[in-house]
């Protein structure tokens, strides 16, 4: 596909991305997402036209890498991609404490990143990006649930323009050793419901597998309350293991951190990721320039998502006890 110019955020001219996918990803894109050159070009044109005519969207990225986040997540259903873009822009403004000013140089963000709480692995799991989290590395006495969500938002926003990630999706490996009642006490039920809603309805990512190990009673309690909030497809992709050897049956041992049986120490992975975050800093912060006017229609999108999750659970986890 030849380069051409498209109008980007704020009317700025941007050079169109040249698609050079490996043959494996072309095949996956065609078979799983219905994507070929013709479908991609037509869908991108339709999305750009829809954005330009949307009465509430005042500023939005229109480059291919950004729009393909949504088209690939929604398997090139343009109406569903449009709806997800509306929701994505809306929740960024409704929850700025979670989704805006995602600066890797912010002292709190930098400290959490440096702790090794959330690190993308260097090698892929059958083409998928692997996000590795260690609950013990997040200090619940110093940081809040908002800090936790912001770090996840920063990490995922830095990765979502990558076409390999858009097509192959993401695998998650979560070491829950060190998870405590102090972690649980950070969360109110309403916040938990809201973030689950955002993950499955507004974040343009293909979540392919979520693996949990070292699940202690505190972690199991939060898992018990949060997993029913997920849709059936995501619930079926949750996997809990009693020992690390069980994880090796699903994820190649050698790509895991050395501390978990792999070949590369977690710190080395983290050091490389911090360099990557600095390279992506400006583009992630520039997302804050996008703007949608919030009115009754856009707020109704949030109400619809609340109804999808149900409203039978209220309160917080602060009073829970674990046997």
| Residue that the structure tokens 């990803």 belong to | 25
Report residue 96: phi and psi, to 5°: -60, -25
- Cα 257 to its chain centre, rounded Å, is 21
Q: Last residue of a domain, which of 69, 94, 119?
A: 94
Are both 118 and 227 inside the same structural domain?
yes
Are both 270 and 189 inside the same structural domain?
yes
Please check the confidence at residue 302 and state whether its pLDDT lies above 80. no
According to the model, what pLDDT value does residue 317 have? 38
Are both 105 and 88 inside the same structural domain?
no
Are both 122 and 172 inside the same structural domain?
yes
Q: Last residue of a domain, which of 32, 59, 94?
A: 94
In a domain, 80, yes or no: yes
Are both 109 and 258 inside the same structural domain?
yes
Q: Which residues contact 20 (CB under 8 A, 6 or more apart)?
A: none
Are both 114 and 62 inside the same structural domain?
no
Q: What is the mean pLDDT of the chain?
A: 87
According to the model, what pLDDT value does residue 306 have? 52
* Rg value, the chain, Cα: 20
In the chain, the number of structural domains is 2
In a domain, 311, yes or no: no
Q: At 59, which CATH number?
A: 1.10.8
CA nearest to 271, candidates 149, 159, 116:
116
Are both 49 and 146 inside the same structural domain?
no
Are both 113 and 62 inside the same structural domain?
no
CA nearest to 214, candidates 163, 266, 175:
175
213: helix, strand or coil: strand
Are both 120 and 262 inside the same structural domain?
yes
According to the model, what pLDDT value does residue 231 have? 87
Tell which wins on pLDDT, 315 or 276. 276
| Residue that the structure tokens 């960024």 belong to | 92
pLDDT-based confidence at 226, cuts 50/70/90?
A: confident
In a domain, 117, yes or no: yes
According to the model, what pLDDT value does residue 26 have? 95
Are both 107 and 231 inside the same structural domain?
yes
In a domain, 41, yes or no: yes
Percent of the chain with pLDDT over 90: 70
Q: How far apart are CA 176 and CA 193, in angstroms?
A: 20
Q: At 110, which CATH number?
A: 3.40.525.10
Are both 113 and 168 inside the same structural domain?
yes
Please check the confidence at residue 276 and state whether its pLDDT lies above 90. yes
In a domain, 317, yes or no: no
CA distance to 36, 127, 243, 277, per residue, from 24 (Å)? 13, 9, 33, 27
Q: In which domain, by residue range, is 30 found? A: 5-94
Are both 246 and 117 inside the same structural domain?
yes
Tell which wins on pLDDT, 306 or 271. 271
In a domain, 309, yes or no: no
Q: Last residue of a domain, which of 31, 63, 94?
A: 94
In a domain, 303, yes or no: no
């Amino acid at each position: 596909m030849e380069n051409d110019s498209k109008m980007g955020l704020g009317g700025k001219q941007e050079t169109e991305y040249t698609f050079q996918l490996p043959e494996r990803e072309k095949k996956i894109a065609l078979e799983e997402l219905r994507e070929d050159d013709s479908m991609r070009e037509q869908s991108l044109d339709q999305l750009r036209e829809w954005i330009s005519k949307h009465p509430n969207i005042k500023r939005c990225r229109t480059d291919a890498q950004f729009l393909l986040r949504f088209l690939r997540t929604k398997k090139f259903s343009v109406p569903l991609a449009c709806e997800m873009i509306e929701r994505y822009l809306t929740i960024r403004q409704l929850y700025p404490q979670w989704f805006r000013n995602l600066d890797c140089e912010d002292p709190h963000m930098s400290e959490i990143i440096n702790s090794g709480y959330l690190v993308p692995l260097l090698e892929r799991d059958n083409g998928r990006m692997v996000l590795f989290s260690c609950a013990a590395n997040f200090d619940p006495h110093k940081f809040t649930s908002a800090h936790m969500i912001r770090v996840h938002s920063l990490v995922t926003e830095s990765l979502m323009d990558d076409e390999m990630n858009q097509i192959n999706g993401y695998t998650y490996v979560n070491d829950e050793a060190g998870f405590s009642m102090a972690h649980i006490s950070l969360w109110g039920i309403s916040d938990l419901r809201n973030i689950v809603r955002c993950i499955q309805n507004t974040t343009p990512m293909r979540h392919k597998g979520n693996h949990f190990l070292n699940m202690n009673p505190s972690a199991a309690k939060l898992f018990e309350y949060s997993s029913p909030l997920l849709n059936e497809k995501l619930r079926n992709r949750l996997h809990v293991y009693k020992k690390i050897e069980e994880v090796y049956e699903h994820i190649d041992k050698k790509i895991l951190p050395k501390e978990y049986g792999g070949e590369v120490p977690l710190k080395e992975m983290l050091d490389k990721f911090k360099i990557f975050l600095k390279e992506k800093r400006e583009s992630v912060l520039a997302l804050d320039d996008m703007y949608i006017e919030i009115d009754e229609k856009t707020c109704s999108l949030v109400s619809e998502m609340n109804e999808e999750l149900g409203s039978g659970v209220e309160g917080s986890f602060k009073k829970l006890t674990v046997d």
